[in-house]
Structure 1
């Protein structure tokens, strides 16, 4: 194998993905085994262009995903580490193979010479299969881009940086996990980060902070730490498209609980705005008691803690018993600030899922380390299920995902502002 081919950004394991892709895949197997789905890529920063070479490298890497499969050793580890996975699901995952023909990759020239442009990526097939494409496609595209387009960077000081970030979080008594797979600079970057976070965690003393795990199942296995994750926006998006938008948050939570009655019950609140979620959430106090906590992923995080405390207290639930996870564009400074607020509010179970700040925090070489080398600003979202469009309405109401007419319909249904928006 030539050097040009050997360093393609192909995942090292089928488990080189986020845990919630597996938990959602099991839920899809249970509820929607025959549903078809389409996922689409969006480059949020249209000033960022990909080279033709980058997209060819990306396409070549995707063609090699067929070599990935769950090993017997990984199967046994999952069985012991994640007891909520059923034998039927683990058998399905063991037989699963990526099918690159499900993915359409199109380079769209945008420069006079045709060598730079945008890329369209679409994955179509059974939801049960296509659900696993999102995370490794994004990680693979990011690594391909930083191998061939933006090369003005190096790994220098990455070990020291990750270790120092961990120490600062520990000293502020922050409990955190690593969430950086999908927008990582490279597999090697994430490997460095996890190695240093684990090393730092072994050196802490006199602090209550801790590293509780990583969203990446492969690295959790490699470093002997916990895989972290429950549920993502696409579950709510897909269920709403299939079942309708009336009381859709409650329907989504109830269907999830059918699959996971005793574990991983942490709800994501912002698929159709957090306010709309809470309107459904408070209608069933017993369910609110059963679910372990809530995850914040858009909007102003400093308004979230006080609102959650108010919601739980209105249901006669002690908020000190409930988990809050913050996971939106976090760095050390923001996490420390949120930890202080939680302490002031008397909220005891607070943790942080930190992604790009860990796995794609670089400076350019040419600037002497003074200018940031920006990560790609991209998403791959569930676009449709069985022909029904899927949407997401952010807590930032100017940022919505999906079919414009459906977005406006749901805004009216939930009495949300229908001001001009920038759909992505």
Structure 2
């Protein structure tokens, strides 16, 4: 088994960096907890916890290089210079990560200050995925096959005339496959490939790092300020920090219907578009188009980024439904970085609690547009549904 290790502190999704900058600015004293969720009921081999602990301990050695810092400074002028200095001195603290294994079950939790622990989620998932295949000794498709498969997908997407980005860090097969995919995607200079959510690979291949915020931004606001205020305050705080940059709003933390109730004309004009991450994508597109029209905004001046479990068939279907009605773009993840002849893992890591001023832990919840993707304490989920008048 080849040694599984991260090679760069920027081998992470860009929205973790953008959120960390905002957290340092607005919530420097908040403590949070994250928890690994094994949605696919995968069975982990004996000793997996020991190997994962070695990977996590090795992350303490990662440090932002001068070239990486300069890349962020030039490419992302909306990131505060004091933040870049902070990141230059940041080290992962393995003590923030608890790993336990009971039989074939794996438990991973993270606890600490939000501004520090926010960076763990994506690399932990990427390591768990890569280590899982390595320890099971599963053989993937050849490098040549991965490259040809990726080039074929890029051709199909270009034929559709859609812009697309690579969003596949967290459930990639391995760093090597991710690298092969990025190399293939950047071969055609006239392609509509726009960039990667992974900062390290965006820098390596000279493309744009792509991302704004994740569900945890809205989940934290729900715990801190209450469910009724979560969407509006999340968006307000984002605008306070980025002043019009990074203008794609994630819509489904507390269902899209609830989101649009608070995504009023002000936000609809301020944000460039919205991201779809659960539920029927075409139904979502029509709701979004109608929402813009209701607020007197031409939907063709806005766009939707689709990012939920996309494959080529889904992309084609969405494109045909939306052409000429609203701007569209696609963030394709696992179908690019883990289409290697093996079943991709179904794993996530979620913010599960935030510590209140009086020291109590307040559970967070996510009520996506798919009931099967609801996450959080069951009592709190029911409370959120009651407050937000969400009916199953």
TM-score range, shorter chain: over 0.9
Q: What residue is the counterpart of 1:380 in the other structure?
A: 349
Corresponding residue for residue 251 of structure 1:
233
Shift of 1:50: 0.5
Where does 1:141-156 land on structure 2 (aligned, <5 Å)? 141-156=128-143
Do 1:33 and 1:128's aligned partners in 2 also have CA atoms closer than 8 Å? yes
Structure 2 residue matching 1:224: 3-state secondary structure: coil
Partner of 1:69: 63
1:416 aligns with 2:390: yes
Q: 1:16 to 1:398 in 2, by over 3 A?
A: closer
Q: Given the two structures, how large is their TM-score scaled by the length of structure 1?
A: 0.89
1:103 aligns with 2:97: yes
Moved more, 250-259 or 153-162: 153-162
State which of 41, 46, 52 in structure 2 corresponds to 1:52: 46
Is the contact made by 1:391 and 1:406 (CA closer than 8 Å) also made in structure 2?
A: yes
Q: Does 1:211 align with 2:193?
A: yes
1:38 aligns with one of 33, 37, 49: 33
CA deviation after TM superposition for structure 1 residue 264, in Å: 0.3
Q: CA RMSD in A?
A: 1.2
The CA deviation at 1:328 is 0.1
Give the aligned partner of residue 123 of structure 1: 110
Shift of 1:150: 5.0
How far apart, CA to CA, are the structure 2 residues paired with 1:398 and 1:61? 31
Q: Deviation at 1:124?
A: 0.6
Instruction: For 1:286 and 1:126, locate their aligned partners in 2 and report how far apart those are by CA, in whole Å.
Output: 32
| Partner SS for 2:227 | coil
Structure 1 residue corresponding to 2:20, chosen from 15, 19, 25: 25
Matching residue of 2:179: 191
2:124 counterpart residue number: 137
Could you tell me whether the CA contact under 8 Å between 2:34 and 2:353 is conserved in 1?
yes
Q: Could you tell me whether the CA contact under 8 Å between 2:276 and 2:307 is conserved in 1? A: yes
Indicate the residue corresponding to 1:276 in structure 2.
258
Q: How many Å separate the matches in 2 of 1:9 and 1:193?
A: 18
CA distance, structure 1, for counterparts of residue 108 and residue 328 of structure 2: 36
CA distance in 2, matches of 1:184, 1:127: 25
Q: Does 2:316 align with 1:336?
A: yes
State the partner residue of 1:15. 10
Corresponding residue for residue 336 of structure 2: 358
Give distance in 2, aligned partners of 1:10 and 1:325: 31
The CA deviation string for residues 224-268 of structure 1, in whole angstroms up to 9 with x for no partner, is: 000000011000001111111123211110011111112001100
Q: List per-residue Cα deviations over 1:26-65 (Å, max 9, x = no partner).
A: 111011101011100010122x200123332211111100
Q: Runs of 5+ in structure 2 lacking a partner? A: 356-360
Report the secondary structure of 1:153's partner residue: coil
1:314 aligns with 2:309: no
Q: How far, CA to CA, are the matches of 1:27 and 1:216 in structure 2?
A: 19
Instruction: Name which one, 1 or 2, has greater alpha-carbon Rg.
Output: 1
Equivalent residues of 1:329, 1:354 under 8 A apart: yes
Structure 1 residue runs without a partner (length 5+): 110-116, 364-372, 419-424
The correspondence for 2:377, drawn from 399, 403, 424, is 403
* Matched pairs, number: 386
How far apart, in 1, do the equivalents of 2:140 and 2:49 lie? 20
| SS of residue matched to 1:381 | strand
Q: Compute the displacement of 1:394 (Å).
A: 1.4
Establish whether residue 169 from structure 1 lines up as the match of residue 157 from structure 2: yes
Structure 2 length as normaliser, TM-score?
0.96
